[in-house]
């Protein structure tokens, strides 16, 4: 039985900031899911704001490092998916506002 919650994983990923836009990956809506099995192995399903992101590998590494810091976490896997394609509607309201959307 594993006591790690999805909320804990998201909270940990909030420490990972995209240096180009200045927001963390969770508030940008880039984290699609966090799957935790009974052995406390965590799989993060995420996307990026663009396929051509030159920070692709570093961002996924930072996510992995951040989740590994949670007490009791066993293996961490990060999967980058392109479906559904990210768009600004997935970001938090304060992010849209800061970008000048409203």
Q: Is 15 in the site for other proteins (CB under 8 A)?
A: yes
Q: Is 49 in the site for other proteins (CB under 8 A)?
A: yes
d(CA 17, CA 24) in angstroms, rounded, equals 4
Comparing CB distances to other proteins, the nearer of 44 and 62 is 62
Among 52, 71, 72, 83, binds other proteins (CB under 8 A): 52
Q: Is 88 in the site for other proteins (CB under 8 A)?
A: yes
Q: Is 31 in the site for other proteins (CB under 8 A)?
A: no
């Amino acid at each position: 039985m594993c006591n790690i919650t999805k909320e804990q994983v998201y909270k940990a990923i909030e420490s990972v900031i995209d240096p180009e836009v200045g927001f963390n990956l969770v508030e940008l809506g880039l984290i699609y899911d966090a799957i935790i099995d009974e052995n406390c192995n965590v799989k993060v399903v995420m996307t990026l704001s663009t396929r051509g992101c030159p920070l692709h590998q570093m961002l996924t590494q930072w996510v992995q490092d951040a989740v590994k810091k949670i007490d009791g976490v066993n293996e961490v896997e990060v999967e980058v998916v392109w479906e559904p394609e990210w768009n600004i509607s997935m970001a938090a309201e304060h992010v849209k506002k800061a970008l000048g959307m409203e």
